[in-house]
Amino acid sequence: MLDDATTRSGGTAKASSRAAATELAVAAPAAVTLPVPAPVPAGFAARCTRTLLSPWSRLSLLLVLLAAAASSVLLFEPQKLLANGWPPHVAGPAAMVLFAVAYGLITVAFVPRPLLNLAAGALFGSEWGIGAAMAGTVLGAGIAFGLGRLLGQEALRPLLRGRLLKAADGQFSRHGFRSMLAVRLFPGVPFWAANYAAAVSRMGYVPFLLATAIGSIPNVAAYVVAGARASTPTSPAFLIALACIALPALAGAVVAWRKRHHLRGR
């Protein structure tokens, strides 16, 4: 009798377990009501990343940034703010730092540097004006070089196929400091053009900045002194500054003319 009772209790327990499992199996599908998302291809995100980081995408971003910067300069004309509308409550070192930062940013947007150098002399005088203008010059050159190197070099280097382009690229790549120093000392090549040409080449960052800092001193100093002494145009300092502006420009034009005829004769 005990065996029969045990058998009956075991059978009842097994039946109860099977019934509970069946109820859970039936209830489980009903509890899942959220749709299952379709699987995303494993390579889709990688392809999107490669497309966004491709050389031509980065070059397009650089062009968009430069176009936006140039449009902002044409719209707001910050060079007038630097020259004529400087906030009167900003003075001393803070004014010089603000001027240098603004100088660097708007030179990336193709604002002519001579205007800014004259403004530096008119606002801060000769000594402090040279310091502020030189800081802005190096800052603007560094920003342009960094943007060109990061966003444009890989896309533009395969396009260097002409003889002149290859010669300029080879000169910048092999003799970076010397070449950039010559470009800065002898005006003729626009500031922004030299920055982006150096960025596309294989010139190093440190030689570029060092050559820019050293080579820009004479030109910057001449314009700053001219701006500081503009109220006395017959003073010796103003006349010497004008001579320092005109003579390198004339020398640069002569060198460019001779180089052009030399290349034609080959």
The per-residue pLDDT for 177 is 93
3-state secondary structure of 41: coil
How distant is the alpha carbon of residue 144 from its chain centre? 4
Distance CA 92, CA 13 (A): 92
| Residue-level pLDDT, tens digit, the chain, 266 residues | 445 444 444 445 444 555 544 554 444 444 445 455 555 455 766 666 666 567 778 778 878 888 887 787 777 776 666 555 566 666 778 888 989 998 998 888 888 899 899 989 988 899 999 999 999 999 999 999 999 898 877 777 777 776 777 777 888 888 889 999 988 988 778 898 899 889 888 899 999 999 999 999 999 999 999 999 988 888 999 899 988 888 877 776 776 677 665 545 55
Distance between CA atoms of residues 102 and 133, nearest Å: 10
What's the CA gap between 169 and 231, in Å, rounded?
44
Whether residue 215 contacts residue 180, with contact meaning beta carbons closer than 8 Å, is answered with yes
The vertex-150 CA angle with 147 and 154, nearest 5°, equals: 125
